[in-house]
């Protein structure tokens, strides 16, 4: 988005153009699943999902997109982080919910019944089932696999947590 903003500032600020580009990314990401013999581990699909999420988080009032994926809703933030960190189930669900047709419903049903939602501990970086994580009760944007990981990560997380809590993440990340 930063490169697009510098080359085409008016186009990037135009919501209609953003919508068209996002629909293109979503359509191509969903198509990548369908073209790959229904294997929902496509890096191509992940790239389109990330691009779509960046469009969702772009605020024209900010001259340079800060690169965060959503400041408004911690649940969306965690979903997006899980997708970026490789949760195939969340990636398929993301595209299935974004497209107007139901062509990914079968793939989503298969994955939903065979694969749990996964997340990655911000402390030790282990991937585990999402339901086993502890989530920071203050900012609700980071997850830990254990209390020990959470306690060990507090010095690194504390300043970011305060910024999210005070809704100052965007102004901080611009500098």
| The pLDDT of residue 119 is above 70 | yes
In the chain, where the domains are located: 1-115, 118-175
Both tokens assigned to 58? 């772009």
How far apart (Å, rounded) are the C-alpha atoms in residues 109 and 39?
A: 13
| The pLDDT of residue 159 is above 60 | yes
Start-end of H helices in 59-146: 74-84, 88-98, 105-114
Which residue, among 154, 116, 155, has the nearest Cα to 134 in the 3D structure?
154
For residue range 62-106, list pLDDT tens digits in order. Answer: 544 444 444 567 888 888 889 988 888 999 899 999 999 998 888
How far apart (Å, rounded) are the C-alpha atoms in residues 81 and 93?
A: 14
- What's the start-to-end Cα distance of the chain, in Å? 17
Instruction: Output the CA torsion sign for 20, 77, 108, 44.
Output: positive
How far apart (Å, rounded) are the C-alpha atoms in residues 86 and 173?
A: 24
63 touches 13 (CB < 8 A): no
Q: What is the signed CA dihedral for 38, 40, 42, 48, rounded to 10 degrees?
A: 110
| The pLDDT of residue 144 is above 70 | yes
Global pTM value: 0.78
């Amino acid at each position: 988005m930063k490169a697009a903003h510098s080359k085409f500032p008016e186009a990037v600020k135009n919501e209609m153009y953003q919508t068209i580009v996002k629909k293109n990314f979503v359509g191509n990401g969903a198509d990548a699943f369908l073209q790959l013999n229904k294997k929902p581990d496509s890096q191509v699909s992940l790239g389109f999902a990330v691009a779509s999420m960046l469009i969702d988080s772009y605020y024209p009032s900010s001259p340079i997109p800060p690169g965060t994926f959503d400041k408004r809703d911690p649940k969306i933030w965690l979903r997006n982080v899980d997708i970026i960190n490789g949760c195939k189930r969340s990636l398929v669900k993301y595209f299935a919910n974004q497209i107007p047709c139901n062509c990914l419903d079968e793939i989503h049903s298969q994955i939903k019944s065979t694969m749990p939602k996964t997340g990655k501990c911000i402390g030790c970086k282990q991937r585990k089932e999402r339901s086993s994580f502890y989530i920071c009760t203050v900012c609700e944007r980071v997850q830990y696999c254990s209390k020990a990981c959470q306690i060990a990560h507090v010095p690194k997380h504390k300043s970011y947590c305060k910024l999210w809590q005070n809704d100052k993440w965007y102004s901080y990340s611009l500098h």
